[in-house]
Amino acid sequence: MKYSIVLSTQPAQFQAATFKGGLEPNLQRIAALGYAGVELAIRDPRLVDAGEIERLVRLHGLAVPAIGTGQAWGEEGLSFTDPDPEVRRAAIERTISHIPFAARTGAVIIIGLLRGVVKPGVDGSQAMDWLVAALQQCCAAARPHGVRLALEPICRYETTLINNLAQGLELLRQVGAANMGLLADTFHMNIEEPVIEDSIRACGDRIFHFHVADSNRWYPGAGHLDFERILNTLLSTGYRGTVSGEFMPLPDADTAAQRGIAFLRSLPSAAR
């Protein structure tokens, strides 16, 4: 099993990004802790030096399995389902602007909160139509570059659109693109899925990326999720991607990152 951890390239409010701040020292620490990769949260590719990030990541021997895009929602309010067509267009353009870096690093582009929420006065089916159309446009732009997108079901406390994996699978059916899959996050699944393992199994090969945090969103091992069962089930779907830590920097980022990977590596499934 390969492990990565979320690292924000810019200041952000999102609390479960374990590492924030200076890129180079963080990359150094993450590599030293034994992670194989970093999942980079990038609000706007125009605000970062992609060439320099790529150089530093390679220097520290790290892969970039995924790019998180949700800060464009959290900090700027961009979304695929905003009633304002300009905001929707900007969200699509922003997603497409991640494609060159994703193509160079082999990263999956994550669609988390960038999908938005059903805003007051907007009909739910209208929001779904906007979401499907936006994803189709982004997938079509990504396909020639060999880039894949992963929609993340997110719990009810953060969005009203696509809370569980079954809804995610139905969305994939509507989008109808081979380069569109799902990101399954144990924190959200613990809230929304009737039986986490059954839901993972039902996704088969449509899981493109995987987030781990324990039930309390601390590092794996700090709560009550059964990671051995969950990760074994994930492996049984044929998943050979990266398992990415997205948990609170508690008691501090280094301790959380170190304890999280130590716990995951101690599981029998880690050897598979």
Using CB under 6 A as the criterion, what x/- string covers residues 226-265 for binding ligand LER?
--------------------x-------------------
Whether 193 sits among the annotated catalytic residues: the reply is no
What is the CB neighbour count within 10 angstroms for residue 145? 13
Can you give the binding site for Mn ion, defined by CB under 5 A? Answer: 185, 211, 246
185 binds ligand LER (CB under 6 A): yes
C-beta nearest to ligand LER: residue: 112
Select 70 or 220, whichever has its Cβ closest to ligand LER.
70
Residue number with CB closer to ligand LER (16 or 28): 16
Q: Is cis: bond before 251, omega within 30 of 0?
A: yes
Residues belonging to the chain: 272
Is 170 an annotated catalytic residue?
A: no
| Among 152, 192, 193, 214, interactor with ligand LER by CB under 6 A | 152
In angstroms, the CA 199 to CA 185 distance is 12
To the nearest whole angstrom, how small is the minimum distance from the Cβ of residue 56 to Mn ion?
A: 24
CB of 253 to ligand LER, least distance (A): 17
Of residues 63 and 67, the one with the C-beta less far from ligand LER = 67
Nearer to Mn ion by Cβ, of 135 and 182: the residue is 182
Residues 72 to 111: which contact ligand LER by CB under 6 A? none
154 binds, among ligand LER, Mn ion, none (CB under 5 to 8 A by kind): ligand LER
Tell me which amino acid residue 122 is: V
Lay out the site mask for ligand LER across 31-70 (x = CB under 6 A, - = otherwise): ---------------------------------------x
What is the Cα–Cα distance from 182 to 109, expressed in whole angstroms?
Answer: 11
Residue of 39, 192, 193, 246 marked active site: 246
Binding region for ligand LER (CB under 6 A) out of 24-32, 137-145, 151-159, 218-226: 151-159
Single out the catalytic residue among 152, 192, 193, 228.
152
Residues marked active site are found at 152, 246
Binding site for ligand LER (CB under 6 A): 14, 70, 112-113, 152, 154, 158, 185, 211, 246
